[in-house]
Structure 1
Amino acid sequence: MRHDHVMPQLSAMLKRQCCLFSWSLWQGGLVLLDRRAENYVMAETVLDVRGLSCPLPVLRANRALRGMAAGDRLRVQATDRASVADFHAFCRETGHALVAWSEEGGVFSFVIRRRGDPFPSGSSTDRGEGQGTVSG
């Protein structure tokens, strides 16, 4: 098997933004790789904005989300109590999904899933999944 041919093809497949993908590489009837979208793990980035006050936590999160791929998750850690209402409003207005949020020891943690692009105006496709407090 020639890796110089397989790796560029594999790399090109991974960059596609498909809803469902599956591929297999065969060598003499042996499956070398079989991956499906259901098992694909999206990236998660952590943004620490502890100590910053409104509106800086939301502004920094917005900047971070702009550089992320659709479906990727951003975990924001903040200490500003106003950030709870701010992140709910931010996600509602931008179409990003506030997947979960929690508070422990004065630190608020928000998990935001970046919306897909383009996002049709007025659509609620990517909004509201799992909003609320996550215990634990």
Structure 2
Amino acid sequence: MAEFRQVAGWEYAEERRLVISTSRFGVGQAEDTNKTPLGLHRIAEKFGDGLPAGAVFESREVVGTVAEKPKAGIAHRILWLEGLEPGFNQGGNVDTHARYVYIHGVGDESTLGQPASRGCIHLAATDLLPFHDRTPTGTLLWI
């Protein structure tokens, strides 16, 4: 469902396919639906630079580790998305950024590969850490 294509700085010459999870409620743009938004996005903000793998976040602040909170909903790193299509995924009640839609890790990775999130895109820590480190803010992606 999501394509991550890096324009500059990505060390991999070939296209990579990553196992992800998207919303268990399906896809859609509207706020309060917990659906994964579609369309053109960019990485607006990143959180977790310099932190060890296993950091657990609440409201983008570190509150512990996966060892302490194995069922953590947001872990390792956060890439906060911004929709770039006015009226579709930007502005009003369809604004991806205002909906707090992230690419992030989770404490329990057993649901990767199946719909499991509440709108965000989940990645395994082994994929998320290099993706976060090598992907600059402003990078475009299509969901």
TM-score w.r.t. length of structure 1 = 0.26
| Higher percent of residues as helix | 1
Greater relative contact order: 1 or 2 (C-alpha under 8 angstroms, separation 6 or more)?
2
Computing the radius of gyration from Cα coordinates, the structure with the larger value is 1
